[in-house]
Amino acid sequence: MKALVKTDAGPGLELTDVPTPRPGTGEVLIRVLRTGICGTDLHIESWDQWAARTVRAPLVLGHEFVGEVVETGPGVADISTGDLVSGEGHLVCGKCRNCLAGRRHLCIRTIGLGVHTDGAFAEYLVLPQSNVWVHRHPVDLDVAAIFDPYGNAVHTALSFPVLGEDVLITGAGPIGMMAAAIARHAGARNVVITDVSPYRLELARKLGATVALDVRTGSLEEVMAELRMAEGFDVGMEMSGRADALREMVARMGPGGRIAVLGLPTGDVPVDMATVVTRMLTLRGIYGREMFETWYAMSVMLQGGLDISPVITHRFGYAQHAEAFATARSGQCGKIVIDWTRPTLPPGA
């Protein structure tokens, strides 16, 4: 089969032929239809310090996907040939304290699909049945391909109740933009999102942000005055991984404010703990998705009218992977989807 592979310890990827996997006991063979490019894939493609520490070549990349079940191994139940599926990219041990307690998203031995084991940037993928999500209702294939990051956004956005609340999101990447749409769908009064990319801020407006602020030309203080906010934001969602963004968020939270932190910083982040203590703020780290409560919420919200499709801005065939990665790295995009049924797609497809 064709697969996009990190063949050596260094920059770059190669589209090459590798053996088609076979499903073992409790496993499912999936024909991949679409995949999404994640920031993790960019790290691995460029072979930065994190990738060099974490990844062992050769490796098939990719963990965001939708596909069709073509074969099931012995012992698989409730999943059938022909089912349309996506998959949870965190592979857990099933034996640690949290797994046994039903908190699999907190597994201490989690390994990543397309990071520690061969992933979804290929024509076929094998996945444990416990990681397979069957789409029981109609869903657009491109949207189904990005259920993994959509799940990050849902997990973050619904970590705290947002109904009637004023929400601040720092970082208008694809997950931040989807979080803005989710917060509005869940009843937030105001959703303010900050970034420095005019392209992505405009996308965030299309997805439902009340205010999309370029922090180079405006301030949160001005936005709060415009929205007649007297005490600060109720809920914060930190998506950027930037120390200055988290510090600004802490400073702008109202008493009792709650902050969900998804962005991964590259260095130490000093936080004004005096403000955290005296305003009784809550900070909660977010990693991945709750298995599978988040996935249920994702599907239900789409059935209820939530539209995240504007976040998908570019589509490529699998042979156009270099162009797809270059576009993703440019930042002048939302989510990028690769079609694994066609080698090339016309411009603007």
Catalytic residues: 40, 43
Q: Are 181 and 306 in contact (CB under 8 A)?
A: yes
For the chain, give the number of residues: 349
Angstrom CA distances, 62 to 109, 168, 206, 278, 326, stand at: 20, 30, 28, 43, 16
Comparing CA positions, the residue from 85, 84, 88 lying closest to residue 119 is 88
> To the nearest 5 percent, what fractions of the chain are helix, strand and coil?
30, 25, 40
Q: Which residues contact 57 (CB under 8 A, 6 or more apart)?
A: 6, 7, 8, 9
In which residue are the tokens 């009218």 written?
305
3-state secondary structure of 45: helix
Distance CA 66, CA 120 (A): 9
